[in-house]
Structure 1
Amino acid sequence: MVVSKRLFTLIFILFLGAELMAVPTRIMVRAKARDAKFIGTSMGGAYVRITDFLSGRLLADGYTSGSTGNTDVIMRQPHARNGILANDETAGYLATLDIEKPVFVTIEVLAPVNDRQARALATTQIWVVPGKHIEGDGIILEIPGMVVSIIAPQMHQSLSTTAANTNVTVSAHVVMMCGCPISEGGLWDSNDIEVKAMVYQEDGLKKVIPLILKSTNTFEGKIPITVDGMYEVIVYAYNAKTGNTGLDKVNVSVTKDTSAP
């Protein structure tokens, strides 16, 4: 009985000692949209996951929160070496790792979390040394792409055309991955972005129709459909200067209304 108590006490002391050796180490992680600003609260944040590369053990996870950042600093001013892009309001996730020895970590960022068709995964790896914090701008992972959301037609919608009007209206909402707006002549200029609707049936591509900016972030076009059937409509946005590409798609059925004049 005495031996058991002594053994228990020894184990407890060793465990407590190990815990006392662990050093809280802070790491700031941010997600930045390519050719745009930081991904934060306005887009539902970016999901951050930090794991020990060797063991796979989860060390920290959470969501970025905060603003998209200062537009002038991020997008207009030249970036100098060691210059800081973020401020106290800029979106990020501050992780605290309790580590006893240097650990090689994998940092994953999935963003934007609340747009399933648009979100992308970015990953990097880095050594973290106990007590050596990575703060300020921290670790910035770039998220390429654009968020494209088809407004009309809706998924699985049944549409009808007439002899006089065979057009189906396609409308899409397009923003940068941080939610930054796209407008004619704006900082994110719609003239730099190709937005088109691709229309497919089972036997392949039928039409490709350009969508024109109707208002900030909203692009629209009309697809002439003369044959009844099931269609897949894919809308993409593409910027040749940056390679940024976003996409959304819906499936609809189209029938001709023979009772209409």
Structure 2
Amino acid sequence: MTATRKYVVFFVALLVASVVGIAAAQPTEVTVRVLSRGGGFLGAPAGGAEVTLRDARTGELLARGMTEGSPGDIERIMGAASGRDGRIATEETARFSTSLDLQRPRLVEVTAIGPMGEEQAANRATATQWIVPGHHLTGGDGWVIEIPGLAVAIDSAPTALTLNDEPAGVDVRASITMMCGCPIEPGGRWDADDFHLAVLVYRDGERLREQPLSYAGEPSRFGTRVEVTEPGAYELVVYAHQPDTGNTGVDRVAFVAESDQAALDPVAAAMARCGMKSTQAADDGTGAVAADGL
């Protein structure tokens, strides 16, 4: 057999093997749902969750998308009658569905990130599972991934503050929900009394105090007034903790408080930050500034 004929036979065999391999691949349906720990599923109210499927051994990307749908039937999800093995999802419950063309069993890794509507609060959860060609992973609730945490977002706080002879008050307002976007409120399904809600106050990196947050009159809205008495670089850290589940969420904001004198005299303010005292020279027509410690 000539060398040319050998090459032709080789490429024909390779092509046949490729075609047979493609033909042997079986569509395999996969449904993934992302559940907020102690809450509902991550769907439209939470901005959904990003779901990624990869081959756990090679890292090959198999599918990626967003969960879409409702948080589900909350009474069914939270009700004791559902039990650990009972189905809690309905047809409207948020999910990500895809079809994988598989030729052989694969160990698949799923990664869920959410809620995407509150990216500063988003957490990541990962799990692995074998998937066999032609054996769909859609039964029951599908592949359910649990996301822990609470979604905390500061709605209002200053970026700068000027102090005079009287202490200044800073109003801090935050939205706090379950990761599914489900509301937290006094006497509700997620009772505010079952959560520890507070703000930590720091000045120049040192912790000053912790203040509790109070219900602000609307579902999932909480706030307090932080008193600021001294200049400095402040950081406010709002956090929420649910002792029964361990769910925790955090958001933070920073601002600078300056005395009214420093605000009027930017040169003095800059020098004060460097630890120097300054006095404004008498106007001699040159605009010169005299500074102690130089």
Q: Normalising by structure 2, report the TM-score.
A: 0.82
Q: Which residue of 2 aligns with 1:92?
A: 95
- Distance in 2 between the 1:88 and 1:32 partners? 15
Percent identity, aligned pairs only? 35
The partner residue of 1:202 within 180, 189, 204 is 204
Equivalent residues in 2 for 1:27-106 (5 A)? 27-80=30-83, 82-106=85-109
Task: Give the gaps of 5 or more residues in structure 2.
Answer: 262-294
| 1:144 counterpart = 2:148 | yes
Q: Which ranges in structure 1 are unaligned for 5 or more consecutive residues? A: none
Aligned partner (choices 177, 190, 194) of residue 192 of structure 1: 194
Which structure has the greater CA radius of gyration? 2
RMSD: 1.8
Could you tell me how far apart the structure 2 residues matched to 1:178 and 1:193 are? 16
Which amino acid is the alignment partner of residue 31 of structure 1? Answer: V
2:238 to 235, 239, 244: 235
1:4: how far off? 5.0
Alpha carbons 1:51, 1:60 under 8 Å: kept: yes
1:204-244 alpha-carbon deviations (Å, 9 max, x no partner): 10121111011211111111111011111100011112111
Q: 1:161–1:168: 8 Å Cα contact kept in structure 2?
A: no
Q: Determine whether 1:211 maps to 2:218.
A: no
Instruction: Summarize the Cα distance change of 1:234–1:76 in structure 2 as closer, same or farther, 3 Å threshold.
Output: same
- Rounded Cα–Cα distance in structure 1 between residues aligned with 2:203 and 2:83: 51
Greater share of strand? 1
User: Which string of whole-angstrom CA distances, capped at 9 and with x for unpartnered residues, describes residues 132-173 of structure 1?
Assistant: 11113011111111110111215xx11234434521111111
Q: Which residue of 2 aligns with 1:177?
A: 179
Amino acid at match of 1:117: Q
Contact 1:200 1:207 survives alignment (8 Å) = yes
User: Could you tell me how far 1:255 is from its partner in structure 2?
Assistant: 2.3
TM-score with structure 1 setting the length: 0.92
Equivalent residue of 1:242, what SS? coil
C-alpha distance in 2 between matches for 1:40 and 1:185: 24
Question: How many corresponding residue pairs?
Answer: 257
Other-structure match for 1:222: 225
CA deviations 1:158-190 (Å, max 9, x no partner) are: 123443452111111111100001111000111
Sort the Cα spacing of 1:87 and 1:130 in 2 relative to 1 into closer, same or farther, 3 A.
same
Higher share of residues assigned helix: 2
Cα distance in 2, alignment partners of residues 232 and 209 from structure 1: 13
Rounded Cα–Cα distance in structure 2 between residues aligned with 1:48 and 1:171? 31
C-alpha distance in 1 between matches for 2:220 and 2:205: 32
Instruction: Indicate the residue corresponding to 2:249 in structure 1.
Output: 246
Partner of 2:160: 158
Whether the 8 Å contact between 1:40 and 1:178 is mirrored in structure 2 is yes
The amino acid across from 2:106 in the alignment is V
* Larger RCO: 1 or 2 (CA < 8 Å, sep 6+): 1
Cα distance in 2, alignment partners of residues 41 and 121 from structure 1: 18
SS of match in other structure, 1:60:
strand
Given the alignment, which residue of 125, 129, 133 partners 2:132? 129
